[in-house]
Structure 1
Amino acid sequence: MKKLLDSLGLFTIPILIIIAVFLRLDITPFGGNSIWYIDLPQQMTMFYNHLYDVLKGNASPIYTWNYGMGTSFWATIAYYLSSPLSILILLFPRSFIPFSILVIWLIKIGLSSVTMAYLLRKHFTPQRWIIFIFSISYALMSYSITYYFLPMWIDAVYLLPIIIAGVHEILKSERSHIFLIGLTLMFFANFYISYMVGLFVFLYFVGELYLHSLGKKERLKRFFLFFKSVILAFLFTCFITIPTFLELRKNKYTAADVNELSYLLNPLDLYGSFFNGTTIIQNLSIYAGVGVILLVPLYFLNKTFPVKERVVYGFLLGFLLYSMTFTFLNMAWHVFELPNGAHYRYAFIVSFLMIILSVKAAGELEWITMRQIIGVAGVNLVFLSLANKLLDGNIYTLWLINKNLFILVALTILIVVLMNKKGSILLHTFAKMGLCLLILVDLGMNSQTILRNYISPSHPVNWYDVHNPSYEKAFNRLQEMDDSFYRTKVDPSLVTTLNESLRYKYKGMGIYTSTGNGEHNLFLRELGYAANSRAANMGNGIFLSDALFGFKYVVTTSELDERIYTKMFQEGNIMVYRIHMNLPLGYMVDQGFMNKGGEKGMFNIQNHLMDGEEASYYEKQNPEAILHSLEEVVNEAGKKVVQRESGNGTPSIETNMTISDTRELYMNLDAETIQNFEEKINILINGAEVRPQNMGLGGFISLGTYEDESLNIRVQLEKDTQTMQIPSFYTLNYSELEKAINGLQNKALEIKEYSDTQVTGEIIVQDKGTLFLSIPYDENWKVTVDGENAEYEKVGSFIGVPLSEGTHTVHLEYVPKILYMTMAISGLSLLLYLVFLGRRILFARKSHVPTVRE
C-alpha cells in the first residue's frame, strides 16, 4: 500500500505543477492564452481526428483519400500516433481532441515520474527523498515540457527507465522479461525516437557490462540475452518499424550543402543550457534541475566510486554532449538527417544520464568534502555572474541570472547540511524537506518559462472552431447531398491547417507530414502549387489542373461567378459552389498527358498538361501602353520598379485591354507587393473597385471573370506604398478549356462503388489508350481489369492503366504487401514466443522446480 501511495503521489505531483503553471499563465482551459503551437494544431490534432475515426470503425488505418489527394496513413500512425496511450482519445468527444492530446501528454509526464522512481528504487537507491526529487526532476525536465506539442516523443521518456531497469535485470539476474517488454513498447510507441533510445541503451549496456565483474562466458550470455530481446522486440513490432522506415526513406530532408564536419554550438552555449529558464523554443532541452549542475561534477570527484566506473560514465556523457556540438554525430542521432526545427531530439537521454549520476552522488554525500562542494558551486557562480556578457544577453538576463544564483546557493547550503552525517536528525529532515520544496519550485519556474515562450507564437484559443458551426455543417451537408467520389477545394482564408481535411472528412490536396508522398508533392510543385517533400498547399488552386484532378466543389465565403460556378447552398457565411468544369477520378487520355513540355512558368506548364502539346488556355496579355505617374528606377536586386515621387498624391499604374470569349483575368505582383497587397494597392476596373482574390500561388491575384469586353485597369498605390514592379497580366480562356474538358468527360470512368481502400468503375473505350486515374502513384495499388490483374504505369505522379477497346470493369484495391507480410511475421513471432514461454512454464511446474530463467 505504501508503494502504491508513493507511486500515486509521484504520478500526481508533476501533473499538478503543470496545471498550476497553466493557471498562472492563464492558459486554456483556465484562461485566454493558448499553447496551440505549430505541429500540435497543424499535425497532431488532425491526425488524431482520423485515428479517432479509425478506432470507431469509421475510417481505414491503411489509406485515406482525405489528404494529399490520397495517401497511405499507416506510416502516419506509426510515426505520430502509435503510442499505447493514444486510445485514451476515445474517452473524449471528437470535438475535444485538442484537449485530449494535452491530457495524454500530462499522463505521460506522470508516468515518467513513476517509471523513474521504479528504476531508482530497484537499482540505485532506497532513499525515498532522493527517489522523490529525481523522479520529479526527470518528469519535468525541459525536454518533456518543450515537446508537449509533439507528445509522441514523450513515450520514450517514460519507457526509457523501464528499458534501463531491464538492462540491469539482464546483468544482475539474467532475466530479460522487463527489457523485452520495455523495448517492445518503445518500438511500438514511436518508430523514430526508438532509434535514439536503442542507440543509447546499447552504449549503456556495453558500459555496464564492462563494469560488472563477469567472466567471458557470463558476458557472452548477457550479450546473447540482450540481442535476443532486441531481435524479438523487433520481430514483434516489425509491422510498425519496417513499413515506416521504407516510407520515410523515400524523402530526404537534409540540404545537400550541409557541412557534416562543422560545429553547431560552442561549449559555453551548451553549458549555459543546464540552468533554469534557458531552454529556447524548439531547441536544446537538457535542463533537469539546477541540482544536476552541482551533483554530476561531485559524482566524478567522489573517490568512493571506482575510477573505472567514473571513466566509463565520463566517456558516455562526454560522447552525448559532444554529439550536440558536432554536426555529423548530431545527424547520426537523428537517423542521419538534420532536423528541420525541434533540434536535439535525443536531449532527454542526456538529462536521463545526468539524473542517474546525480542520484549516485546524492546517495554518497557524506564522502563529499567541503572543498569539493565549494569548488563546484564557485565555478557555477562565476559562470552565472559572467553569463550576461559571455552568452546571449537576451536570454541570460539579470533576472534569470539572479534566479539561478539564488537556487544554486540555497541548494549548496542544503547539500552541505546533508553532507554532515553528525548533524541532528531533525535538521537533516528539514534539509531534505527544504531540498524537495526547492526542487519543485525550481522545476515549476522552468516549466513556466518554457510554456510562456510558446504563448506568443501559438494559435489563438478559438483556433479549433474559428469558422464553426457553419463550416463543419457545410461539409456534412455536402457529403449528405453528394456521396460520389469528388474532391473539394477550400478558400485559403478558411483553412486552419493543411491537414484539416482529415478532421472535416473532405478529399483535398493539402498535406503536411513527414510521412507523405514526397515525390507526388514535388510533382505538384512543378505544376505550380506551393509544395515541398513534406507538404502541399493548394492555395486557391490552378483551375486547369484542379479540373483534371477531380475538384468538383469550392467552399468559400466569397460570391463566385455564376458563369463558372453554381451555388449549391449556404450555411451561415459559408457557401458551397459546384465547378462547371470538373472531371471524375478516371478518364481516357492520349499520349503526352501530364507531360510538362519542358516549359518553365506555372501557366506555360499548365498549357501542356492535356497532351504535351502547347495550348493557349492561359495567355500572357500584351495590353496597350502601361502608363504611370511614378518614377522608374532599378532596385538593389536589379529589377526595374516604379516608385512614388515626392508630392504625388495618389500615384497609379493604368492600362487598357480587350477580353475576348469568357476569361479569368490574373495580375502578377512582385514578391514584396503580394504580401498584404490589400493594404498596399487599390484596383479599379472600368472605374469600379474590385476585390481581388489571392491565388496563394506564384504571386498571382485574380481580378475576376470577363466576357467580350474592353477593360480599363487602374492600380493605385496606397499612401504607405513607395515602390512596386510594373505588374504583368494573364488570362484563362474558359471557353476553350471547357471544350477540352468536355472531350475528356465523354471518355470517363463511371465509379460504381468506392471505399477507403477500393475503387470499382466501368468504362467504354472507343480507342485503346491510357486510363488516367488522379490517384497518387503508389506501388501498393493492385489493379484488375475485367477480373484479370493489370499492369499500371506512372503518368506524371499519378496512375495510368493501359486499356484496349471495349467495355471494361476496372477495380483498384490498396494492398500494402510489406505491411501485411510484416504483420504476419509479428503475429507469428509473438505466437511462437508465447507458446515457447508457456511450455517452459508448464515444464517447470511438472518438474516441481522454480520457473526457468531466460
Structure 2
Amino acid sequence: MIWHAFSMPNGYSQREAYIILLVLVTIGYIGSTYVSSGYINFIIAGIIWSLISIFITYRWNFLSNQQLLVDILLIIIEILAIILMYKKSKKYIWLFLFIILGEIGFSYYPRENAIAQTSIPMDSYIKLIEVNQNVLTKLNKNDHSFHRIGSTIQLNENDPLMYGYDGLSTYVSQQSKESTNYLSALGYYQKHSWIRWSSFNNGSTAAVNRILGLKYVIAPKNKNLLDATISGKSMSTSDSAPNFPKGIKENSDDFNIYKDKGALPIVFKIENTAKNVVVNYNPVDNPFLKLNSLFLQGFGISNMYQEVKSSLIKQNEVSKEYVIDVVSDGNVYCYLPIDQNIVTESSIKVSVNTYNNNVWGENGIVYLGPYKKGIKIHVNYESKDTQSINPVFAVEHEGSLLELNKFRKGIADIKVNGDLISFDKKTEDTNLAISVPYDSAWTAEINGKPEQTYKTLGGLLEIRVIEKGKVNLKYNVPGLRVSIIISTISVILLCLCLVLKRNS
C-alpha cells in the first residue's frame, strides 16, 4: 500500500518517481553516519542482505540474467566505495549518488522510453483533456446531483483520476478485493488479467447501471481525436457502442453525451429482504441468474432477465455465429463465461446482424441492443482465444426495468461532500440503500440519534430507520487518529535525535 500511495497514476512515468527509493537511500545514509567504527560488519551485513534479495528475486537462475549481473557488479563497486569512504574520507559518499543514477539509467530508462514511445501523443492528450473538461463543466452546471459517469474510451487505468469525474470506468489495486469481486459479479470488468480488470466496457445491464447511479456516458465522435487515443498502444484504449438503452443523446462539438433519466440517486429504497442477497463472484457462472436473485430479494422484481436460447449456425477457427429468438421486448445481452485462469489479451469483437456494435466485448456483460419480441438476431463474436466458450444470452424485461423508478421516492435534498452523505427522509420506510461499498467505518445518525449500518444487496451500505427526518452518514477512516499520533511522535523524536546529534 505504501508503494501505491507514492506511485499513482498507474501507467505513467510518475510511478517510477523513485520516491520510495529516495526514502530508503536517505535512511541508509543516516544509518551509515552512525557507523564510526566496525565498518567491516556494516559491509558484511550489506552483502548478506544483497544475497538474500538476489535469492528471493531470481532463485538460481541469476547467472543467465543480464540485469542481475549488472546489479552484482554495482554492489561490488558500492562495497569498494564504502571501504574508500571509511579509509580515506567520508566525502566519497557522493560516489553512491553516481552509482544509483547509473542503476536507474540502466534498469529503468528502456522501460520508460518504451512507455513514452507507445503513449498517446501529447497534443492529442491535451486536446482530449480539454474537450473532456468542457463536457464535464457542462454536465456539472446543468446537474448538481451526485451521479456517476462512464466513458466509451480509456486512456489509462485511472480515467476518473485523470478526468476528474466520479466514474465506474476503472479498477485500481488500492480498492478492496470485495469491491472488485462485487462489481465483477454484477457484470462489469472481469478479473482475468490486470488489463481486463480495468475497462469500464460501457457498464453492465441497464438495471445494474441504474442502481449504481450511472447517469451519463461520454462517447467521442471526433474521428481524429478518437484515432489519437487508440494510437496509444501502452494502454487498453477502446471505443464501443454505449450500453445506455434508450438514453437521451446530448450533442457537443467532440462528444455525444448519453443520459439515463432512470438512474437511481445515491440513496434509494429497498425491500426488507435485500439484506439476504449474497453475491459470490465466479466468472464462469451465469450472471443473469445472480442478478435475478438480487432484484427479486432487493426490490421484489421477479424475472428481470429471461435467458434466451441460441443456436450455433457457423463456426471457424476465429469466429462463431449464433442465431437467437428474442422472447420479450427489452434489452438483449450476452456474456462469455471464461475461467479466471484463462487470459485473453485480444479483444473479442461482437457484432449483431452484421453490424459491429461492440469491439471490446470480452470484459463483462455485453449489450447487444433493444429488440422486440419475436425478432431473430444473428450474433457473431470473433476471438482467437475463446472458441471453446459458449456465450449466454438474456433479455432484460422492459416492464421490470421501469419498476425501479418507484424506489427513488421519499428521499430529498441529497448532498455528498467528501466523507459526508446527508439527505432528508420524507417517509417512514425502514430500509434505505446507499450506492457505496459497505464498510464498517461508516456511521449513521437520524435527527442526531445514532443508527446501525448494514450490508445490503450483496455489497452496498444500508441504514434502517423508522422515522422521518435528517440523516447523516459519515466515513471515519480506520486507524487515522492513531496513525496521526504515531507520526507526530515519530517526527518529534526524529527532530530530537538530530538536535542531540548536532550538539554532541
Which TM-score applies when normalising by structure 1?
Answer: 0.45
| Residue in structure 2 matching 1:156, options 11, 23, 30 | 23
How do 1:525-536 residues align onto structure 2 when only pairs under 5 Å count? 525-530=184-189
How do 1:190-209 residues align onto structure 2 when only pairs under 5 Å count? none
One-letter code aligned to 1:627: I
Inter-partner Cα distance in structure 2 for 1:580 and 1:442: 56
Q: Corresponding residue for 1:432?
A: none
Structure 1 or 2, whichever has the larger Rg, is 1
Q: Corresponding residue for 1:318?
A: 48
Do 1:590 and 1:611's aligned partners in 2 also have CA atoms closer than 8 Å? no
Inter-partner Cα distance in structure 2 for 1:673 and 1:837: 55
Inter-partner Cα distance in structure 1 for 2:244 and 2:200: 22
Deviation for aligned residue 1:487: 0.9
The alignment-based identity, stated in percent, is: 16
Do 2:453 and 2:461's aligned partners in 1 also have CA atoms closer than 8 Å? yes
Q: Give a deviation string over 1:521-544, Cα, whole Å, max 9, x none.
A: 232233333366996653221123
Q: Corresponding residue for 2:363?
A: 697
| Residue in structure 1 matching 2:136, options 475, 497, 508 | 475
Inter-partner Cα distance in structure 1 for 2:75 and 2:99: 20
Length, aligned pairs only: 453
Deviation for aligned residue 1:350: 10
Q: Corresponding residue for 2:161?
A: 502
How do 1:269-308 residues align onto structure 2 when only pairs under 5 Å count? none
Change (3 A) 1:440 1:817: closer
Deviation for aligned residue 1:507: 0.9
| Residue in structure 2 matching 1:605, options 280, 290, 312 | 290
| Residue in structure 1 matching 2:270, options 589, 595, 602 | 589
Q: Corresponding residue for 1:647?
A: none
Q: Corresponding residue for 1:636?
A: none
Inter-partner Cα distance in structure 1 for 2:148 and 2:312: 40
Inter-partner Cα distance in structure 2 for 1:563 and 1:760: 30
Indicate yes or no: 2:174 matched with 1:515. Answer: yes
Inter-partner Cα distance in structure 2 for 1:318 and 1:529: 47
Q: Corresponding residue for 2:6?
A: 80
Deviation for aligned residue 1:779: 3.0
Deviation for aligned residue 1:658: 3.9
Which TM-score applies when normalising by structure 2?
Answer: 0.72
Indicate yes or no: 2:331 matched with 1:663. Answer: yes
Q: Corresponding residue for 2:34?
A: 167
One-letter code aligned to 2:83: K
| Residue in structure 1 matching 2:313, options 627, 633, 646 | 627
Indicate yes or no: 2:358 matched with 1:358. Answer: no
Change (3 A) 1:354 1:523: farther
Change (3 A) 1:703 1:527: closer
Inter-partner Cα distance in structure 1 for 2:7 and 2:336: 42
Indicate yes or no: 2:209 matched with 1:551. Answer: no
State the 4+ residue runs in structure 1 displaced beyond 6 angstroms: 75-78, 347-350, 362-365, 439-446, 669-674, 720-723, 831-834
Deviation for aligned residue 1:772: 0.8
Do 2:412 and 2:426's aligned partners in 1 also have CA atoms closer than 8 Å? no
Deviation for aligned residue 1:741: 0.9
One-letter code aligned to 2:355: E
Q: Corresponding residue for 1:761?
A: 423
Change (3 A) 1:351 1:477: farther
Gaps of 5+ in 1: 1-74, 83-96, 106-147, 173-207, 212-308, 330-342, 366-435, 631-641, 645-650, 842-850
Q: Classify the secondary structure of the residue corresponding to 1:497.
A: coil
Indicate yes or no: 2:442 matched with 1:781. Answer: yes
Do 1:529 and 1:697's aligned partners in 2 also have CA atoms closer than 8 Å? yes
Deviation for aligned residue 1:473: 1.8
Gaps of 5+ in 2: 60-66, 89-94, 221-239
Inter-partner Cα distance in structure 2 for 1:763 and 1:663: 33
How do 1:685-834 residues align onto structure 2 when only pairs under 5 Å count? 685=353, 689-692=355-358, 694-698=360-364, 700-713=365-378, 715=380, 724=387, 728=391, 730-747=393-410, 749-768=411-430, 770-795=431-456, 796-804=458-466, 806-816=467-477, 818-824=479-485, 826-827=487-488
Do 1:657 and 1:712's aligned partners in 2 also have CA atoms closer than 8 Å? yes
Q: Give a deviation string over 1:107-139, Cα, whole Å, max 9, x none.
A: xxxxxxxxxxxxxxxxxxxxxxxxxxxxxxxxx
More strand by share: 2
Do 1:772 and 1:800's aligned partners in 2 also have CA atoms closer than 8 Å? yes
More helix by share: 1
Change (3 A) 1:561 1:790: closer
Q: Corresponding residue for 1:456?
A: 114
Inter-partner Cα distance in structure 1 for 2:28 and 2:245: 65
Q: Corresponding residue for 1:568?
A: 250
Q: Corresponding residue for 1:113?
A: none
Q: Corresponding residue for 2:231?
A: none
Inter-partner Cα distance in structure 2 for 1:445 and 1:328: 18
Inter-partner Cα distance in structure 1 for 2:99 and 2:49: 31
Inter-partner Cα distance in structure 2 for 1:498 and 1:596: 28
Q: Corresponding residue for 1:578?
A: 259
Do 2:245 and 2:331's aligned partners in 1 also have CA atoms closer than 8 Å? no
Q: Give a deviation string over 1:469-496, Cα, whole Å, max 9, x none.
A: 32232122212221211111121xx121
One-letter code aligned to 2:5: Y
Deviation for aligned residue 1:773: 0.8
Do 1:665 and 1:702's aligned partners in 2 also have CA atoms closer than 8 Å? yes
Do 1:763 and 1:809's aligned partners in 2 also have CA atoms closer than 8 Å? yes
